[in-house]
Structure 1
Amino acid sequence: VIYAKACWAGALLCSEKCDEFTDLNLGHSIIGTSLKVRLLLYTRLNGTCGTLMSHTDLSAYPQFNASKPTTFIIHGYRPTGSPPNWLNKLTERLLVRKDINVIVVDWNYGAATLKYWEAVKNTRKVASNITALINMLQHGADLSSIHMIGVSLGAHISGFTGANLKGEIGRITALDPAGPGFKGKNPEDRLDSSDAQFVDALHTDMDLLGFREPLGHIDFYANGGADQPGCPKTIFSGQYFKCDHRRSVFLFIDSINATCTSRTYPCSSYKDFLDGKCLTCSQFGNAGCPILGYDVIKWKDILLEQNQTKAYFRTNEKSPYCMTNYRIDVVIWNKDVQWGYLTVKLHGNGKQAQATIDHKSLNFKKFTDTELLAAFDKDIQWVEKVSVKFSTGNVLQPKRKLRILRIRLKNLEPKGNKAQGPLCRYDVLLEENKEVTFRPIPCEESNF
């Protein structure tokens, strides 16, 4: 399809066809494709209509403004040859958020092949091509204003490009950087934190197509970095091989408009994060816990001082992916130790949010404060009621009761002066598998 576009040629408004991402098919992949790199420019003037750029003459592109920041989008392996289904949305969101130049690096010729290792070999060649363009841009562009967003193999292409430019480009965002072909490699043979002034990486498929180890100044591990909610769990299900892998792109897209922010928590492991051991983020001072994605650049200076940070968070199975995190403290007065799981619901303004804390069987001891992390599927601005259900998962034993002396809930998302403070309830009896609903009251402890 050819779209009409507006463009400036001197003082005249003209119309010309759009240049589009290369559309190939499985036949091309079976035969194999030779590398060809095309650079498609998008700006707010031509936000839905690409302009094929030359590597040698920028004067033909008056819509390109070297004084504005430039963001490169670099895709990865394309075994079927089709264009990425996320490409247009990512481009559009970036241009809505900020007045920049967006350059889509189309290396579908070279990425479309059934021989994955051929595509891996092409990554350095693609990086050399991008480097040549950036060297030409340097006459009017600041390297620190360049942001490279690389997906899978594109993450390592970004790294090679950054290394070619001695790590002087401003930022590299790696979206589930590819693992096969790069695991166990030295830093010069893959993306690493020295390739840009700031490198952030998001891991969503580290057990199959992605990279497990940290690569940047901050590495985000969504839902632990492996299996993503809503994705197939078996090889016999559709989308099994790419759902987890490409989830990284959709999480990043969600972060751009800043209406759905995922707060992340630096921690030594996903287990410790789920156990509620890493919820303070005191090392970040007043900045608080870093936010996933586009706006993590606000934490750059602190993260550079930390050297390397691993941060964890949970998501919903579809957009909006962001969840609302609470810290829940439970004190019981049962004589014996109780083991089980909790399901908590928040009610307010006609809405309901739910968190199920079932990653392990919880250990409740008499007069001992048990701290829990609860990730709710949506944000309830003002909680009016709370529902709690206790379960053990054991159908063969008699039903148990959890005698709660005190339960406290604290929203971990900063909301300003009008935020609802910590909520408490005292003396609640939970019979197994029976939901109890109550109205919470403000907690008495001033230091909570």
Structure 2
Amino acid sequence: MLYTRRNLTCAQTVNSTALGHLNVTKKTAFIVHGFRPTGSAPVWMGDLVEGLLSVEDMNVVIVDWNRGATTVMYHYASSRTRKVATVLKEFIDRMLAEGASLDDIYMIGVSLGAHIAGFVGAMYEGQLGRITGLQYFKCDHQRSVYLYLASLRENCTVTAYPCDSYRDYRNGQCVSCGVPQKESCPILGYYADDWKDYLLENHPPMTKAFLDTAEKKPFCMHHYFVDIITWNKSVRRGSITIRLRDGAGSTTESKIDQPQLCRYDLVLMENVETVFQPISCPKLQM
């Protein structure tokens, strides 16, 4: 089912023999859903189509394999994935014959759809422009999908920090993205491929990164790392108040009241709520 900016609300059915209004000179994003035990359409599908078309003028193709994915037996659905991948390859081959480029093919797979995207990528020996895999059953309430949707919002940037371990990340040891910092930190979701060229310089071309999210939509959080060092050793107790003000003039403050030397992770959420989390607190030597 093809969506473009010309037909945002009414899809056109396409296949390998009829590409319809698909413009092969533009990027084409394929959305591949996963296991559907009840047969209902994914609730996030419309938002994803709208979000993709809002950030870029492209073709968005929903791969509807619902008849193969609808079953209470997971292994039955998984046994159909390679057949779906074969059909997709036939469709992409037709696009290539009409002048499309593999660099402009972008596959977004959810759950078993991520496996299908991987199979298609393997058929082209890793030459597809991009694949995004979202592991539906690893994240509560389809969180991976909603984090991706959040990345399509102009005011919702979820930043990740390359780090060797989660402990190092929580201890504030990974606040930059290179020494010297030549690259901005990778962004979760749609704009993650801005880091592609940087990663290709690594051997192997991969990195491990960590991030925090809010508990509810739009999940964005902004981090400020604050080092507090006390010099007056004659004073054993005290408190520090930090106040933040956003561009609209809203303010919030948090009070630190601990007789310890701490490094704090200051988390600023979209609603200007602040949370101080002690991430490294050795005892003061008095």
Common fold by TM > 0.5: yes
Q: Is 1:248 the counterpart of 2:144 in the alignment?
A: yes
CA-CA distance at 1:354 after TM superposition: 6.9
Q: Contact conserved, 2:29 with 2:107, CA < 8 A, in 1?
A: yes
Pair 1:136-2:94 in alignment: yes
Consecutive unaligned residues of structure 1, counting only runs of 5 or more, are 1-39, 179-208, 211-225, 227-241, 381-385, 391-401, 404-448
* TM-aligned CA deviation for residue 319 of structure 1: 2.0
CA deviation after TM superposition for structure 1 residue 166, in Å? 1.3
TM-score normalised by length of structure 2: 0.84
Q: Is the 8 A contact 1:150 1:156 kept in 2?
A: yes
In the alignment, structure 1 residue 46 sits paired with structure 2 residue 4: no
Q: Which amino acid aligns with 2:119?
A: F
Shift of 1:134: 0.5
CA distance in 1, matches of 2:180, 2:94: 38
Change (3 A) 1:137 1:309: same
Q: Is contact 1:93–1:256 with CA below 8 Å preserved after alignment?
A: yes
1:351 is displaced (CA, Å) by 2.1
- State the alpha-carbon separation in 2 of the partners of residues 250 and 344 from structure 1: 32
The amino acid of 1:92's aligned partner reads E
Letter of the 1:317 partner, please give it. E
Structure-1 separation of matches of 2:253 and 2:148: 24
- Which residue matches 2:18? 57
| SS across alignment from 1:305 | coil
Matches of 1:57 and 1:347 in 2, distance apart?
Answer: 55
Q: State the superposition RMSD in angstroms.
A: 3.1
Unpaired runs of at least 5, structure 2: none
CA, structure 1 residues 70+80, in 2 after alignment: closer, same or farther (shift >3 Å)?
same
Matched, 1:174 2:133: yes
Contact 2:254 2:276 in 1 (8 A): no
Ranked by relative contact order (alpha carbons within 8 Å, sequence separation 6 or more), the top structure is 2
Listed as ranges, the matches of 1:337-416 within 5 Å are: 346-348=244-246, 349-353=248-252, 364-365=260-261, 370-378=262-270
For residue 51 of structure 1, give the secondary structure of its aligned residue in structure 2.
Answer: coil
1:321 and 2:219 aligned: yes
Amino acid paired to 2:194: K
Do residues 164 (structure 1) and 123 (structure 2) align? yes
Shift of 1:347: 4.0
Q: Does 1:271 find its partner at 2:167?
A: yes
TM-score scaled by length of structure 1: 0.55
Q: Are 1:155 and 2:114 counterparts?
A: yes
Kindly indicate whether residue 60 of structure 2 is the aligned counterpart of residue 102 of structure 1.
yes
How much has 1:73 moved relative to structure 2? 0.4
**Seq. identity, %:** 41
Q: Counterpart of 1:277 in structure 2: which amino acid?
A: Q
The answer on 1:305 being equivalent to 2:201 is: yes
Q: CA deviation at 1:316?
A: 1.2
Distance in 2 (alpha carbons) for counterparts of 1:284 and 1:77: 45
Residue of structure 2 equivalent to 1:30: none
Q: Does the alignment pair 1:330 with 2:228?
A: yes
Secondary structure in 2 aligned to 1:254?
helix
Decide which structure has greater strand share: 1
Question: SS at the partner of 2:223?
Answer: strand
* Equivalent pair of 1:353/1:377 in contact (CA under 8 Å): no
Q: Report the Cα distance in structure 1 between the residues aligned to 2:166 and 2:277, rounded to whole angstroms.
A: 25
Greater fraction helix: 2
Matches of 1:378 and 1:256, distance apart in 2: 15
User: Is the deviation greater in 279-288 or in 85-94?
Assistant: 279-288
Aligned partners of 1:354 and 1:376 also within 8 Å? no
| Maintained 8 Å contact 2:35/2:77 | yes
Note the C-alpha offset of 1:389: 10
Q: In 1, distance between residues paired with 2:143 and 2:197?
A: 28
